[in-house]
Amino acid sequence: MIKVRAVFEKKGRAKYISHLDLNRCMLRIFRRSKLPIWYTEGFNPHPYFSFALALSLGFESDCEVLDFNLNEELPFDEVRDRLNAVMPEGMRVSSVSEQKMKITEIAKAEYDLYLLSNDYEKFGNAVDRLMAQPEILIEKKTKKGIKSVDLKQSIELLSAHPIGDIFKTFKMTLRLPAGTQTNYNPNLFLDALRNNQDQDFEILKISRTGILCENNEIFL
């Protein structure tokens, strides 16, 4: 049995495929690809595969991670090409390799946020004021109910700047906790920005650009 890890993008119309539907979609992709996928044993055998980190509905991504097993050794380029030949619109495998790191090593995710604001300077100042606060308290839904957490201790704001004069687009790049223990959605930061700084803006796009380990090494 060969343990394989594929990295794929999910963009355009594909961003509206929910995580549950993505599982069904992947079943069809594996069947159509005719790859020698390893099946679980028991009364109801099914192809074994798993996603490293669920992606929120409506988010795009360059770095979704899919793990699965093969019964036969094949060139990784061939596996990639056979998957891409049957992928739906908006999904494309960028690389296939052996599994090196464990899922438990995932610690962070990086996002690009594209926002529409009528006033660059006012919006940029609001972001600076929020990040300068000693704490950024947010209400986060957990399995045990609503919990108040301090986002300031976990968020990394890597950049924040306007990228166009015509459409008034503001781009921010964030790193947030992610993985098996803690997952923070970038919308939590945007909610805090709206609530604490009284900012009116429109979300144009949120894209996950990286899945990282604790030392900021790319998860492979």
- Residue 148's domain is classified under what CATH number? 3.30.2350.10
pLDDT of residue 207: 98
Let me know whether 16 and 117 are in one domain: no
Residues 79 and 109 occupy one common structural domain? no
C-alpha span between 218 and 94 (Å, rounded): 15
| pLDDT confidence of residue 166 | 62
Cα→Cα distances 167→117, 118, 120, 159, 200, Å: 8, 9, 11, 19, 15
Final residue belonging to a domain, choices 56, 72, 100: 100
136, 114: one domain: yes
Which of 100, 134, 157 is the C-terminal boundary of a domain?
A: 100
CATH number for 33: 3.30.70.580
Same domain, 77 and 154: no
Record the tokens describing residue 57, joined without a space.
Answer: 């509905």
Residue 220 covered by a domain: no
pLDDT of residue 182: 86
* 143, 186: one domain: yes
Looking at the structure, tell me whether residues 81 and 113 fall in a common domain: no
For residues 167 and 192, what is the distance between their CA atoms, to the nearest angstrom? 24
Q: What is the pLDDT of residue 45?
A: 82
Determine the Cα–Cα distance for residues 31 and 123; give it in Å rounded to an integer. 49
Tell me, yes or no, whether 145 and 74 share the same domain.
Answer: no
Domain membership of residue 94 (yes or no) is yes
Q: What pLDDT is recorded for position 35?
A: 96
Look at the chain and report how many structural domains it folds into. 2
CB atoms within 10 A of CB 51: 16
Report yes or no on 48 lying in a domain. Answer: yes
For residues 90 and 180, state if they share a domain: no
Helices 120-132 and 186-197: crossing angle in degrees, nearest 10, is: 100
- Predicted pLDDT of residue 195: 85
User: Is there a single domain that holds both residue 145 and residue 190?
Assistant: yes
Residues (pLDDT < 50) of the chain are: none
111 and 209 share one domain: yes
Q: Which helix (H) or strand (E) holds 108?
A: strand 106-116
* Domain containing residue 121: 104-213
The answer to whether the CB of 134 falls within 8 A of the CB of 79 is: no
